[in-house]
Amino acid sequence: MARSTLLRWAVQSLGPTMMLRRSARAGELGPRLSVDRSLWDDPFPSYDAVRAQGDLVRGRVIHATASHAVASEVLRSPVFRVGVDSESLPPLARRMIRIASDTRYPGPAEPPSMLAVDPPQHTRYRRLVSKVFTARAVAAREPRVEAIADELLDRMAGKRSVDLVEDFAAPLPVRIIAEILGVPPSMHEQMLAWGNAAAVTLDPMLSYRSFRGAAIALREMHGWLDAHLRSVRRDPGDDLLSKLATLEDEGEHLDDVELRATALLVTGAGFETTVNLIGNGVAALLANPSQLEVLRAQPSYWENATDEVLRYDSPVQVTVRHAAEETLVAGHAVPRGQFVTLLLGGANRDPAVFADPHVFDVRRENAREHLGFSAGIHYCLGASLARLEGSVALRKLFDRFPDLAVEGQPVRRPLRVLRGFERFPVRLRQPALTA
């Protein structure tokens, strides 16, 4: 494992990092945002600077956009793809890609994950998964989301201070996803650890240590999922994974590798992001008490507030596409094979679409136009579940602890693609007055 992991790290992480660093040194802001950690805490001025340079900013290795219109156009264009057609690459690059992919234990954003395949494979795959992952199935989860949130809040109520991530924002989505996948409670902690380790693989720049940790976690997770799928097939439960595993649609079904990849993606995409939605929401609301007042007076705004969090402080900040053929984007010629970074967090602060984009406004009429769930064929499959979890969690938290306040220093996760908190210490109620 060690040698092949080292090789894969060199191709997947070290090589791209060196290229991005060189472009950053040449003054390109898009790549600098990937490599300069000092920009990660507050990337928003840099997004504005990218936008000020143009709708589509050309780079030596990768183009970048923080424009809502251009990001939407690229995400919806059939020319832009997620998978690289290795046949179109020179032999050396083809070899590198072969080395870089671990076909036995792929990560949540590696083929055959739905997130990393293009039509027609994606069309068939998504159609089958959507048969089970329906709006009705998500709506049916609402009572469970409410009950789990209440249970976690009850547990917190006995304490004076808590870490919001550990005690609330993480366990809520983990338990929901675990129920969807039919994972027993004894495995929840382990799922969280695996998910945390796998989530880092979305970042382009990983130290060898993190890469190796993720590879080990992925191998263990695949092993566990293999056994879990066998048991789910033998004895299907009421969960969505059992339904997927036994689904037959017009003679089509998902094979074992696709099922494992879906379970892994739902784990990675499903709770790592929702944890961040809840944490980023708490941070935005505590920093803008007037908005909390609005929600107290008009609780019907909680759902819109959740979309405003997704816009204002997007849990997924970036995605990438590449052009499968030569094309035009916003009037700019883009050559075949060109990669484009879509700065979703920047598109969501584009003043052409959102008035006063740096203002957090829970009543914003077009908050839902954000690209926090992407757009086009890869639009987040779990968007309605995430919205449900986010709005229930935030509403219940502030209803139960109206005096909630930051205590100490919240710490952001040192990640570029996923934006959220690692630790968020809060005081639940005001200290009692002493005579």
Helix (H) or strand (E) holding 290: helix 289-297
The span from the CA of 141 to the CA of 155, in Å, is 21
Q: Which is nearer to ligand HEM, 393 or 428 (CB)?
A: 393
- 53/121 with CB nearer ligand HEM: 121
Spatial CA neighbour of 316 closest among 391, 383, 388: 383
Q: Which stretch binds ligand HEM (CB under 6 A): 251-259, 271-279, 291-299, 355-363?
A: 271-279
Q: Which residue in 32, 51, 63, 126 binds ligand HEM (CB under 6 A)? A: 126
Q: Which of 320, 327, 319, 318 has its CA nearest to residue 79? A: 327
- Binding flags for ligand HEM, 11-50, as an x/- string (CB under 6 A): ----------------------------------------
Beta strands 318-323 and 339-343: pairing type?
A: antiparallel
- Nearer to ligand HEM by Cβ, of 199 and 217: the residue is 199
Query: Which of 145, 217, 265, 343 touches ligand HEM by CB under 6 A?
Result: 265
Query: Would you state the structure tokens that stand for residue 282, as one six-digit string?
Result: 């708490």
* Residue 138 structure tokens: 């998500």
Among 66, 71, 96, 114, binds ligand HEM (CB under 6 A): 114
* Smallest separation, CB 274 to ligand HEM (Å): 4
Annotate each residue in 145-184 with x if it binds ligand HEM (CB under 6 A) or - if it does not, as one string. --------------------------------x-------
Q: What is the spatial distance between Cα 226 and Cα 223, in angstroms, rounded to a whole number?
A: 5
Question: Residues with Cβ < 8 Å from 223, sequence gap 6 or more?
Answer: none
- CB nearer to ligand HEM: give 281 or 357: 281
- Would you count residue 372 as binding ligand HEM (CB under 6 A)? yes
Considering the rule CB under 6 A, would residue 254 count as an interface residue with ligand HEM? no
- Cα–Cα distance for residue pair 189/352, rounded to 1 Å: 43
10 versus 377: smaller Cβ distance to ligand HEM: 377
- Tokens 């069309």 map to which residue? 123
Query: What is the rounded CA–CA span in Å between residue 230 and residue 382?
Result: 25
Tell me the DSSP string of 215-284. Answer: HHHHHHHHHHHHHHHHHHHHS--SSHHHHHHT--BTTB---HHHHHHHHHHHHHHHHHHHHHHHHHHHHH
The CB-of-187 to ligand HEM minimum distance in angstroms stands at 17
Q: Which of 30, 31, 43, 270 binds ligand HEM (CB under 6 A)?
A: 270
Q: Pick the closer one to ligand HEM by CB: 11 or 74.
A: 74
First and final C-alpha spacing in the chain: 65
Using only the alpha carbons of the chain, give its radius of gyration: 22
Which residue's Cβ lies closest to ligand HEM? 382
Shortest separation between residue 122's beta carbon and ligand HEM, angstroms: 6
- Interface residue with ligand HEM among 175, 222, 311, 378 (CB under 6 A) is 378
Two tokens, residue 391: 């709005």
Dihedral sign for Cα 410, 414, 415, 416, please.
Answer: positive
- 266 is an interface residue for ligand HEM by CB under 6 A: yes
> What angle in degrees, to the nearest 10, is found between the helix axes of 256-287 and 188-199?
80
Task: Report if residue 115 touches ligand HEM, rule: CB under 6 A.
Answer: yes
Residue of 277, 356, 359 whose CA lies nearest to 316 = 277
Show the binding pattern over residues 379-398: x = contacts ligand HEM (CB under 6 A), - = does not.
Answer: -xxx--xx------------
Nearer to ligand HEM, 214 or 266 (CB): 266
Stretch that binds ligand HEM, among 87-95, 204-212, 266-274, 324-332 (CB under 6 A): 266-274
**Which residue number, 315 or 357, has a Cβ lying nearer to ligand HEM?**
315
To ligand HEM, the closest distance from the beta carbon of 323 in angstroms equals 15
In order, the DSSP letters of 357-385 are TTS--TT-TTGGG--TT--GGG--TTHHH
Encoding tokens for residue 132?
Answer: 């089970």
343 pairs with which residues across the strands?
A: 318
Which stretch, 28-36, 245-253, 315-323, 330-338, contacts ligand HEM (CB under 6 A)?
315-323
**Choices 61-69, 248-256, 268-276, 279-287 (CB under 6 A): range interacting with ligand HEM:** 268-276
Within 8 A by CB and 6+ apart from 272, the residues are 195, 196, 199, 418, 420
DSSP E strands, 73-169: 80-81, 161-163
**By the rule CB under 6 A, 204 interacts with ligand HEM:** no
Binding positions for ligand HEM, rule: CB under 6 A: 114-115, 126, 177, 265-266, 269-270, 273-274, 277, 315-316, 319, 372-374, 378, 380-382, 385-386
